[in-house]
Amino acid sequence: MFRKFIVLASLAVLGACSSDKAATPPAASTSSALTYYDDALPIFEQHCLECHQNGGIAPFRLDQYADAKLQAGAIVAALQSREMPPWAATSDGSCQNFSHSLALADEDRQTLTQWATSGAAEGTPRAVELPSRPALPDATDFSTPMFSPVAQGGDLAEFDEYRCFMLDPGIDDVRYITGYDVVPGTPSVIHHVLVSIVDPDAESDLEGMTNGEVMTELHAQSPDREGWPCFGGAGDNVNVESVPVAWAPGQGMVEYPGESGVPLVPGRRLVVQVHYNLAGNPGAITDQSVVRLRLAQTVPNVGVVVLEDQLLDTLFDGTPHALEPGKPSVTYGWQTHVSDYFGSLSDVKLYGVMPHMHQRGHKFRMNVSSGATPTCGMDVQQWDFHWQHMYFYSQPLDVTPDTKIDVTCDFDTSSDTAPVLPGWGTRNEMCLAVMYFVVPAAELAQ
């Protein structure tokens, strides 16, 4: 059953990034004389070039004046629609601050827009600073198989393939994942990578079958290709214990915050979900990507990854909750208390959240209430399924057993004619919060 996945023994997830982006220097010139080199480039360097460079994931470069000028119109549109940069969490100070944020300040948005709409002048050439990629020290590499993705087609995956691969961590004792990175083999097609921890011997969501049996069956549907199709998680009906890696380009390597690590128990498998995006990549593509995990023998604090989706839970309690079709806004809300996961444990901190819905998802809100006044834990005004992210707070939230967590998902079902059921599949919906809590190891040992 996909239910309260706390499981003190094996949960956990992500941490803060090694390098927070520095503030963008103020624009040097007045709006009438904005230039690429003086005004636009400093912002591109901080917020865009990670992806918009030669060999990067984005379809064009912004590190060369001529290319950037050609895209001036598209830049204005993408900034206005907030499609770019890809950072869904509201980051204007009204709902937490995040480490390693790609969010663009309104001031920078204006500077770029003014530059692009006032002739996109060049200015005096200077060297471009391409973002550096700090490496994760002491990591163990796990490779996905060499794979040739093929677009699945249809409304929801026109240019995309979501494929899962199973990897054996090959450990004899418990290890703690204290950081991770993903090195895409062919960066232009790797849109995101999620790694789930799955117990192959545990019950799946199909009665009488283990996760291992379900995964074997899924693979058998296309035995001549590596892996199996998986849209929502580790594949339909596979019961996921934890999601320790949620990576999208631009994120860089992650070191879990609060000196914490996520337990990996011997016998568990890593299921790597890769979202290949083939738009603008005609012809045969092959990819072999590497998930790098830093594994420690002990950690001062244990990272606990909680997956909670009470919409999905209704599938299993005999009264599935269907979303009403044909509406621009249909909401589903749920709430829990920290004590549901940690009992009376004290000294628990909430370090981050990954919202997850499918393609009808529109808005997502999480409130965390330790007293009468709720604190905003996550706010998404424009969900984009294609950009999955774990968002880590700059400062963790202290929680107590009484702390209440409320989540509301807002879906757009305008193009549906039949009620939409929850589920892992492409056509179903989810209202999932993946939460990263940190607990002192000594507390857990008691």
What is the binding site for ligand HEC (CB under 6 A)?
47-48, 50-52, 57-59, 71, 74-75, 78, 83-86, 102, 104, 249-250, 386
- Rounded CA separation 304/348 (Å): 10
From residue 426, give the alpha-carbon distance in Å to each of 230, 235, 325, 383.
9, 11, 16, 16
Contacts for 171-174 with beta carbons within 8 Å, 24 or more apart?
Answer: 171/264, 171/266, 171/295, 172/266, 173/266, 173/297, 174/263, 174/264, 174/265, 174/266
- Rounded CA separation 40/248 (Å): 24
What minimum distance in Å lies between the beta carbon of 248 and ligand HEC?
A: 6
Instruction: State phi, psi for 367 to the nearest 5 degrees.
Output: -110, 140
If we measure between CA atoms, which residue out of 17, 306, 290 comes closest to residue 179?
Answer: 17
The residue assigned the tokens 């460079």 is: 53
Whether the CB-CB separation of 433 and 355 falls below 8 Å is answered with yes
Whether the CB-CB separation of 162 and 229 falls below 8 Å is answered with yes
Q: Which two tokens stand for residue 55?
A: 């060999």
- Rounded CA separation 255/253 (Å): 7
If we measure between CA atoms, which residue out of 87, 389, 97, 356 comes closest to residue 245?
Answer: 389
| CA terminus-to-terminus distance, the chain | 28
- Rounded CA separation 230/237 (Å): 10
What minimum distance in Å lies between the beta carbon of 392 and ligand HEC?
A: 16
Enumerate residues 6+ apart whose C-beta is below 8 A from 60. 52, 67, 70, 71
Which letter, b or e, does each residue of 363-387 get, where b requires 16 or more Cβ atoms within 10 Å of its Cβ? bbbbbbbeeeeebebbbbeebebeb
Whether the CB-CB separation of 390 and 284 falls below 8 Å is answered with no
Half-sphere exposure of residue 276, counting CA atoms within 13 Å on the CB side?
A: 27
Within a 10 A sphere around the Cβ of 208, how many other Cβ atoms? 7
